Amino acid sequence: MIHSMASAFTHQLTSVALLLLLLYFPPISESNNLFCDAGSEYGGPQCGIQSSSKILIKGGTVVNAHHQQIADVYVEDGIVVAVQPNINVGDDVKVLDATGKFVMPGGIDPHTHLAMEFMGSETIDDFFSGQAAALAGGTTMHIDFVIPINGSLTAGFEAYEKKAKNSCMDYGFHMAITKWDEVVSDEMEVMVKEKGINSFKFFMAYKGSFMINDELLIEGFKRCKSLGALAMVHAENGDAVFEGQKRMIELGITGPEGHALSRPPLLEGEATTRAIRLAEFVNTPLYVVHVMSMDAMEEIAKARKAGQRVIGEPVVSGLVLDDSWLWHSDFVTAAKYVMSPPIRASGHNKALQAALATGILQLVGTDHCAFNSTQKAFGIDDFRKIPNGVNGIEERMHLVWDTMVESGQISVTDYVRLTSTEWGRLK
């Protein structure tokens, strides 16, 4: 990282046991030029090579979501032209020996927040630094959430187009819906038909800012259905969280542990089942972002078993960490782990891993939303003011490898599916 970010994974022991040969070949387009323009530190030497290059990656085990085989990968001008054994090439082709290594597509992180204004501050990673971190960790595309400005989707979209100008890799957008009226409903159509955004997130938490009530949730689901767009939810009961927070403050619990205590798993379970049932009522698919608890996961399992189209996204912090860090006596350390829904007690993480391995949950995001320790310190006397969010955009690929593949819970092809290709299939 190029700044002192509060990393929730500093204490995580990780070993990248294999040499991942992760490809980063941006399409020959705008993003390539942006990569070059973005600065000499990351852009310099690669720019010339990428504009007209011929590369052969030889003898690696090429893995996709369904199959793996020993093969060569021939790449011309940033595009994979051929994947087959024993490709012969001329002297003008740069040959990279990948014998004994896996050759995989770059990761796609379906859930990030770069340059997001939130809780009186702005996330410390902008599109450039966040994407540089992503690339360092093997992720070559991410989907960020456009946050509307005073409810306006158009204004929000324009602001995010500006924020994303210093991008150095591929990205896409979901859009949050933070209020409801005819204008928003019309703007959703513009986003789908003209701006290429076809996933919309509704917040059932963050009372007083992003939260919407059930009436609006139903309206939003109906609109998604009519547009053929995907409805997504942040599933926590915001009214009950508000009550839980009040309770903690009354008890004199003001530290980061109050964050976890004020919004227990049952509030995530309640909102998850409510969203699932309302989506069933409207008859539209539902994507539950950052599934952090057994309670939420079990609701998704039940719905999927009954044949409902529900997609569950765990995030890497929920899969590998537990809430013990929130009880750390040092505020700076504990505050790093404050995100919503909270990182849960030990046991939830293992259950989420098992759900991912058995297909109850489908793909892994990060909810990368990084604040530094100065920003986290806004809440030194009151956990409600600690900006919510942890990192992960750089660490996701190797942590999922360590936790899921090294442990034998999933295969290498599964790994490619849930870190990369699944998002494309959903769309």
Q: How far is the CB of 69 from Zn ion (least distance, A)?
A: 37
Quick check: 6 and 371 in contact, CB under 8 A?
A: yes
User: DSSP for 394-409?
Assistant: TTHHHHHIIIIITTTS
Quick check: 180 and 409 in contact, CB under 8 A?
A: no
Q: Which of 292, 299, 344 minimizes the C-alpha distance to 313? A: 292
Structure tokens at 351: 């259950």
At residue 22, the 3 state secondary structure works out as strand
Of the pair 110, 255, the CB lying nearest Zn ion is at 110
Of the pair 257, 367, the CB lying nearest Zn ion is at 367
Q: How far is the CB of 339 from Zn ion (least distance, A)?
A: 8
Partners of 311 in the beta sheet?
287
Helices 30-37 and 44-51: crossing angle in degrees, nearest 10, is: 150
Quick check: 126 and 163 in contact, CB under 8 A?
A: yes
Contacts of Zn ion in 2-61 (CB under 5 A): none
Binding of Zn ion by 234 (CB under 5 A)? yes
**CB-based contacts of 370: which residues, under 8 Å, 6+ apart?**
5, 6, 123, 124, 125, 130, 389, 390, 391
Q: Which helix (H) or strand (E) holds 156?
A: helix 153-163
Report the residue closest to Zn ion, judged by CB: 234
Q: How far is the CB of 296 from Zn ion (least distance, A)?
A: 12
CA distance 402 to 241: 33
Of the pair 78, 110, the CB lying nearest Zn ion is at 110
Q: How far is the CB of 367 from Zn ion (least distance, A)?
A: 4
Of the pair 205, 356, the CB lying nearest Zn ion is at 205
Max Cα-Cα span within the chain: 74
Residue span binding Zn ion (CB under 5 A) among the ranges 38-46, 62-70, 228-236, 371-379: 228-236
Residue span binding Zn ion (CB under 5 A) among the ranges 219-227, 231-239, 253-261, 415-423: 231-239
Residue at token pair 């069933």: 280
Q: How far is the CB of 321 from Zn ion (least distance, A)?
A: 16
Contacts of Zn ion in 352-391 (CB under 5 A): 367
Residue span binding Zn ion (CB under 5 A) among the ranges 208-216, 226-234, 257-265, 266-274: 226-234
Binding of Zn ion by 219 (CB under 5 A)? no
Q: How far is the CB of 171 from Zn ion (least distance, A)?
A: 15
Of the pair 234, 376, the CB lying nearest Zn ion is at 234
Quick check: 373 and 6 in contact, CB under 8 A?
A: yes
Binding residues for Zn ion, rule CB under 5 A, total: 2
Of the pair 125, 367, the CB lying nearest Zn ion is at 367
Q: How far is the CB of 374 from Zn ion (least distance, A)?
A: 22
Residue span binding Zn ion (CB under 5 A) among the ranges 95-103, 173-181, 229-237, 406-414: 229-237
Q: How far is the CB of 248 from Zn ion (least distance, A)?
A: 20
Q: How far is the CB of 394 from Zn ion (least distance, A)?
A: 17
Residue span binding Zn ion (CB under 5 A) among the ranges 30-38, 81-89, 177-185, 234-242: 234-242
Q: How far is the CB of 387 from Zn ion (least distance, A)?
A: 13
Cβ count within 10 A of residue 181: 11
CA distance 327 to 333: 9
Dihedral sign, Cα of residue 63, residue 67, residue 69, residue 72: negative
CA distance 78 to 111: 25
The contact pattern for Zn ion, residues 75-104, with x = CB under 5 A and - = no contact, is ------------------------------
Contacts of Zn ion in 117-176 (CB under 5 A): none
Quick check: 386 and 8 in contact, CB under 8 A?
A: no
CA distance 280 to 30: 40
Residue at token pair 């892994």: 364
Of the pair 234, 336, the CB lying nearest Zn ion is at 234
CA angle 65, 70, 74 (to 5 degrees): 85
Cβ count within 10 A of residue 59: 19
Of the pair 367, 402, the CB lying nearest Zn ion is at 367
Q: How far is the CB of 234 from Zn ion (least distance, A)?
A: 4
Of the pair 163, 234, the CB lying nearest Zn ion is at 234
Of the pair 72, 367, the CB lying nearest Zn ion is at 367
Of the pair 62, 315, the CB lying nearest Zn ion is at 315
Residues that bind Zn ion (CB under 5 A): 234, 367
